[in-house]
């Protein structure tokens, strides 16, 4: 029997690749023209099996005409071969902040001895379902184009592709008799669609989902999918999950429709989603309709479908026969619509709801899918909570080792370099391992780019990547200037051995700054494991402070550095993190003054002054770089309205609510908080001012701390802020270098 990952390899091997005019290569040639126009004719590619490798592979060599040639077993292998050249030989790279591939030397350096490499796993996966809301909610095709090129060059060949899902689902809903009001009442707002797709929430706050949004997102997907395909990627497409509007109960009274559980403290209006059980014949009818409509829109470009039924919601029954019937019927519905269908699911539920998902229930649930190569499971948080170990390599089902790392787009600098290099290799070599991929599943793309890069690079290396050598090479091409001062590289060497060498089990992911949290007593998590920790695991004064000082010194030696966008970004990022870390001590001083029997209200007020000073300084450095602007997020949302002010205000409300209250009444406040210029200077400033004022007044009057009153005040501030529209500057202000230099001396 063929494994699913062998199919594209055999298809490639069955074609003739003798000429560079092969239409399958059009995408990679277009990428070269798009990113390296001066070298549009310098690279040639030939599709042909490389050394009999069964996975994606390439051989990089010098061409006869002074150009560079790549032989590759797949288009993805071609892209990775190109990336190997531009990074390891050309010394440039492509980043989330933009492509620098056009900085290749005019005279391309020679390869020398040919370089042949292969991926060590058939799949290199990208995206968490919620990334489409936390980072990509308001992205244009221009944004997607950069990210798709970034993925292709790094060898990603299996990206999730959720955009525009609501258009096709609406068509299916209409087909079964639901009205426009029924459908509109079900869909959530643009910034919250991921959780509507998961079946966590339904309905909306701030207004119903406009038809314009649904149509525009579908049109965007029609641009995204072909680009993914032409660059050798297999898009993981949506399918019908079974979550339906409440009106389905009345429309089909005899159908097997059950209500899901409550999610994240939301009232029933917004949760308890209705679920059409897959063994009901209507489920298969709707599944076939959905997939056929999707195929008509995008072509027969993929047989891999994402389908998650119990993300942070428990099944209607824990009976193992029931669970097996759910998956058996679900898979049958996929195969009825697409005889080659493969079901991809996130394995998050097996950890997050571990008390329910006992080994026997998991085995029954997965066992409902008949063959091991018919399913791919994303072991979503492999770097910290690997479920493949507990569940015997998912009982033989294919699975992908995933790095989650970032919750809600949290921006704290953190990573465990050794873990995301050695651990996947160990998992791949484990006895009986059914691991078939490595991938990135962050909730947001908001920093720590090095820790994501290294995992995708490890997918092409059979040996553990050396941390020190990797960080040095990464920094050297990040700051592409002649004669780069050694201090710039040394700064990253420090971080690689400290901030990105997190060995503290109580800090399992990117930490959140206290500045972003709703002010209250007891914010510092000490000895408490949480997915959004506030606990520091390194000494700021021996890590980030000298690293920032080195970056500043490097610019003094090489003034050209100040024109490098990634250097500008990192100046702000390092400074931001130093200030965030310093805020912890100031907060503790404030709380100590408030709780001390010997302190006065004047002491409390005095303790609050440096906190507000630091917040103002943080806002000032953030405002100097476009990547750290609230205005960028709001502007991206508003720009999608194409001048329709009412629609723009609606989109802005969604954008604001997600990063603040996350719900109509602050159901999961601050989960998606950000350190962005404008957000710090308005929202966080208002909250901390109000909190400090309350503590001063409470101390002065001798009244006990009233947590309910404080929480209500914070909610009031949040509701007011979310209802506003942006009136500040849309661009950057201030000099990153000058402000970073000043703040380093002030706060270190």
Look at residue 54 in the predicted model and tell me its pLDDT: 73
pLDDT band at 430 (very low <50, low <70, confident <90, very high): very high
User: How does pLDDT run across 670-692, given as a tens digit for each residue?
Assistant: 999 999 999 999 999 999 999 99
Where do runs of H (alpha helix) occur along 430-480?
A: 449-458, 467-478
**Lookup: tokens for 262:** 């409550």
User: How does pLDDT run across 353-366, given as a tens digit for each residue?
Assistant: 999 999 999 999 99
Phi, psi (deg, nearest 5) at residue 437 = -165, 170
Per-chain mean pLDDT for the chain: 95
User: How does pLDDT run across 73-112, given as a tens digit for each residue?
Assistant: 999 999 999 999 999 999 999 999 999 999 999 999 999 9
pLDDT band at 11 (very low <50, low <70, confident <90, very high): very low
pLDDT(5) > 50: no
Look at residue 624 in the predicted model and tell me its pLDDT: 98
Q: Tell me if 94 sits within 8 A of 35, measured CB to CB.
A: yes
Q: Determine the Cα–Cα distance for residues 537 and 556; give it in Å rounded to an integer.
A: 31
Strands (E), 228-309: 243-244, 257-259, 274-276, 304-306
User: How does pLDDT run across 540-598, given as a tens digit for each residue?
Assistant: 999 999 999 999 999 999 999 999 999 999 999 999 999 999 999 999 999 999 999 99
**Lookup: tokens for 6:** 């062998």
pLDDT band at 530 (very low <50, low <70, confident <90, very high): confident
pLDDT(7) > 80: no
User: How does pLDDT run across 262-277, given as a tens digit for each residue?
Assistant: 999 999 999 999 999 9
User: How does pLDDT run across 633-660, given as a tens digit for each residue?
Assistant: 999 999 999 999 999 999 999 999 999 9
* Total residue count of the chain as it appears in this document: 748
pLDDT band at 17 (very low <50, low <70, confident <90, very high): very low
Q: Which helix or strand (DSSP H or E) is residue 581 part of?
A: helix 565-595
Q: Determine the Cα–Cα distance for residues 82 and 472; give it in Å rounded to an integer.
A: 21
Burial level of 547, CB count in 10 A (0-12/13-18/19+)?
buried
pLDDT band at 524 (very low <50, low <70, confident <90, very high): confident
Q: Determine the Cα–Cα distance for residues 414 and 579; give it in Å rounded to an integer.
A: 16
User: How does pLDDT run across 601-623, given as a tens digit for each residue?
Assistant: 999 999 999 999 999 999 999 99
Look at residue 577 in the predicted model and tell me its pLDDT: 98
> Closest Cα partner for 243 from 340, 288, 308, 303?
308
Q: What is the mean pLDDT of residues 518-531?
A: 86
């Amino acid at each position: 029997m063929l494994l699913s990952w062998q199919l594209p390899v055999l298809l490639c091997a069955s074609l003739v690749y003798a000429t560079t005019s092969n239409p399958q290569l059009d995408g990679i040639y277009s990428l070269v023209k798009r990113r390296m126009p001066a070298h549009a004719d310098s690279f040639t590619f030939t599709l042909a099996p490389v050394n009999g490798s069964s996975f994606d592979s390439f051989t990089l060599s010098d061409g006869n005409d002074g150009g560079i040639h790549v032989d590759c077993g797949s288009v993805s292998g071609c892209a990775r071969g190109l990336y190997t050249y531009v990074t390891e030989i050309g010394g440039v790279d492509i980043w989330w902040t933009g492509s620098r591939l056009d900085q290749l030397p005019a005279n391309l350096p020679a390869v020398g001895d040919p370089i042949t490499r292969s991926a060590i796993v058939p799949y290199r996966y990208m995206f968490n379902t919620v990334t489409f809301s936390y980072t990509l909610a308001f992205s244009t095709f221009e944004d997607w184009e950069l990210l798709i090129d970034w993925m292709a060059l790094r060898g990603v060949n299996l990206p999730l592709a959720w955009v525009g899902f609501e258009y096709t689902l609406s068509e299916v809903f209409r087909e079964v008799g639901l009205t426009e009001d029924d459908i509109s009442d079900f869909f959530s707002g643009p910034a919250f669609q991921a959780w509507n797709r998961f079946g966590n929430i339904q309905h909306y706050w701030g207004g119903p989902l406009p038809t314009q949004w649904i149509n525009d997102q579908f049109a965007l997907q029609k641009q995204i999918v072909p680009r993914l395909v032409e660059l050798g990627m297999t898009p993981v497409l949506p399918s019908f999950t079974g979550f339906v509007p409440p009106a389905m109960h009345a429309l089909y009274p005899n159908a097997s429709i059950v209500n899901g559980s409550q999610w994240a403290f939301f009232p029933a209006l917004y949760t308890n989603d209705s679920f059409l059980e897959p063994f009901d014949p209507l489920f298969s009818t709707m599944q076939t309709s959905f997939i056929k409509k999707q195929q008509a829109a995008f072509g027969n470009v993929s047989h891999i479908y994402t389908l998650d039924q119990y993300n942070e919601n428990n099944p209607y029954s824990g009976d193992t026969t029931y669970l097996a019937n759910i998956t058996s019927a679900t898979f049958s519905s996929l195969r009825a619509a697409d005889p080659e269908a493969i079901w991809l699911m996130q394995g998050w539920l097996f950890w997050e709801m571990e008390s329910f998902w006992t080994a026997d229930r998991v085995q029954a649930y997965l066992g409902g899918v008949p063959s091991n190569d018919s399913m791919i499971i994303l072991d979503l948080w492999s770097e910290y909570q690997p479920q493949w170990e507990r569940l015997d390599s998912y009982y033989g089902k294919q699975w992908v080792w995933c790095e989650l790392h970032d919750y809600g787009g949290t921006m704290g600098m953190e990573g465990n370099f050794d873990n995301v290099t050695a651990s996947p290799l160990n998992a791949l070599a484990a006895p009986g391992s059914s691991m078939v991929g490595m991938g990135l599943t962050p909730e947001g793309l908001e920093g720590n780019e090095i820790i994501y890069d290294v995992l995708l690079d490890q997918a092409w290396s059979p040996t553990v990547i050396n941390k020190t050598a990797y960080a040095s090479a990464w920094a050297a091409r990040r700051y592409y200037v002649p004669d780069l001062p050694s201090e710039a590289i040394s700064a990253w060497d420090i971080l690689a051995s400290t901030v990105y060498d997190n060995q503290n089990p109580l800090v399992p992911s990117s930490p959140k700054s206290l500045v972003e949290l709703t002010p209250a007593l007891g914010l510092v998590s000490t000895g408490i494991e949480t997915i959004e920790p506030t606990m520091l695991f390194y000494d700021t004064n021996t890590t980030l402070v000298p690293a920032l000082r080195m970056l500043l010194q490097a610019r003094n030696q090489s003034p050209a550095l100040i024109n490098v966008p990634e250097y500008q970004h990192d100046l702000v990022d390092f400074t931001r993190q130093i200030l965030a870390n310093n805020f912890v001590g100031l907060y503790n001083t404030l709380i100590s003054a408030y709780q001390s029997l010997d302190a006065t209200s004047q002491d409390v007020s005095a303790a609050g002054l440096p906190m507000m000073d630091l917040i103002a300084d943080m806002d000032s450095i953030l405002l100097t770089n476009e990547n750290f602007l609230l205005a960028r997020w709001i502007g991206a949302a508003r720009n999608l309205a194409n001048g329709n002010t009412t629609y723009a205000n609606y989109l802005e409300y969604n954008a604001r609510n997600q990063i603040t209250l996350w719900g109509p009444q602050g159901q999961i406040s601050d989960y998606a908080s950000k350190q962005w210029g404008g957000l710090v200077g308005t929202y966080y400033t208002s909250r901390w001012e109000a909190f400090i004022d309350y503590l001063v007044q409470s101390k002065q009057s001798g009244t006990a701390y009233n947590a309910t009153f404080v929480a209500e005040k914070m909610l009031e501030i949040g509701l007011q802020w979310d209802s506003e529209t942006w009136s500040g500057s849309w661009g950057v202000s201030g000099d990153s270098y000058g402000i970073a230099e000043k703040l380093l001396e002030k706060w270190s």
